[in-house]
Amino acid sequence: MPDQKPEGISRPRVLFVSATAMEVQAFLNAHDCRRTTVFCHTLFQPQKGNWACLVTGPGVFNTAAGLGACLARIGPDRVIDVGIAGVFPGFGPGIGDLALADSETYLHTGVGKDLPLPFDLIPGKGDTRNGAYAMDGKTSDACCTALAAKGLASLAGPFLTVSRITDTRQKAAALAADRPYVMENMEGAAAAHVCALYNVPMAELRAGSNVAGDRDKIQWDIPAACRALDRALTGLKEVWD
């Protein structure tokens, strides 16, 4: 299929990327957005504004496919991966709190603990042997400043990407013992990998919806996390509008 920009879509200064529409629905509802399909993924762009929002579908495979297709076609200046996440108790954020990633690690990359692959996943980026990716400092700092201007507190720390949500407190504690991860999600490392391939600066912002290792969904508060994310997105888009 030809590598071309979708009709009617201009190059945005910032592309927000979300796994599901639910996580960003309130934000999108507040804007008059054009809706375009990029392959099987949905791209929203306001009638006025310099941002767009891509909904990829959950998980690393949907994110990698959707974001790769979008970067090839509309070439945003930067990407901010957004969504809800599980929080690791004792490491800062709680349910409903916001956090910015200073790095992402994909749990399922490597040979084992402290034993990397014998080759780079991205040539010249040795940390990818362990599934590790740094965020763009300037973009992350701009996000932090924008949130503070709206009176929104945010923490910073390493995020962990998993393909299966951690289902026991014991497993969560074991993961946190290796490194003080602050949030667990299912897409961040995939977005970081694709952005590194395309050399596009990326930041990641998430709101806590549950405690990592807690399978009791009655204890989860997805609506609170989505409300926090909506307030955050309203502040972030103003930076690049």
Residue pair 211/86 in contact by the 8 Å Cβ criterion: yes
Q: What is the pLDDT of residue 113?
A: 67
Could you give the residue ranges of the DSSP H alpha helices within 123-206? Answer: 137-149, 169-178, 188-198
Q: What is the pLDDT of residue 2?
A: 41
Residue 132 carries which side chain, given as an amino acid letter?
A
Q: What is the pLDDT of residue 65?
A: 96
Q: What is the pLDDT of residue 56?
A: 97
Tell me the pTM: 0.93
H/E stretch holding 128 reads: none
What single DSSP character describes residue 115?
A: B
Q: Could you list the pLDDT tens digit for every one of the 241 residues in the chain?
A: 344 555 556 789 999 999 999 999 999 999 999 999 988 899 999 988 899 999 999 999 999 999 999 999 988 999 999 999 999 988 778 999 999 999 999 998 877 667 889 999 999 999 999 999 999 999 999 999 999 999 999 999 999 999 988 888 889 888 888 888 999 999 999 999 999 999 999 999 999 999 998 888 888 999 999 999 999 999 999 988 7
The domain over range 14-240 is classified in CATH as 3.30.9.10:
no
Q: What is the pLDDT of residue 115?
A: 82
Backbone angles phi, psi at 230, to 5 degrees: -60, -45
Closest CA to 206 of 99, 96, 57: 99
Domains in the chain: boundaries: 14-240
What does the buried/exposed string (b/e) look like for 67-106 if buried means 16 or more CB atoms within 10 Å of the residue's CB? bbbbbebbebebbbbbbbbbbbeebbbebbbbbbbbbbbb
- How would you class 20 by CB atoms within 10 Å of its CB: exposed for 0-12, middle for 13-18, buried for 19 or more? middle
Euclidean distance between CA atoms 136 and 199, whole angstroms: 11
Euclidean distance between CA atoms 18 and 70, whole angstroms: 13
> How far, CA to CA in Å, does 38 sit from each of 6, 14, 23, 65, 169?
7, 17, 19, 10, 39
Question: Where do we find the tokens 């959950």?
Answer: 58
Closest CA to 9 of 39, 52, 42, 58: 52
Q: What is the dihedral of CA 40, 43, 47, 48, to 10 degrees?
A: -160
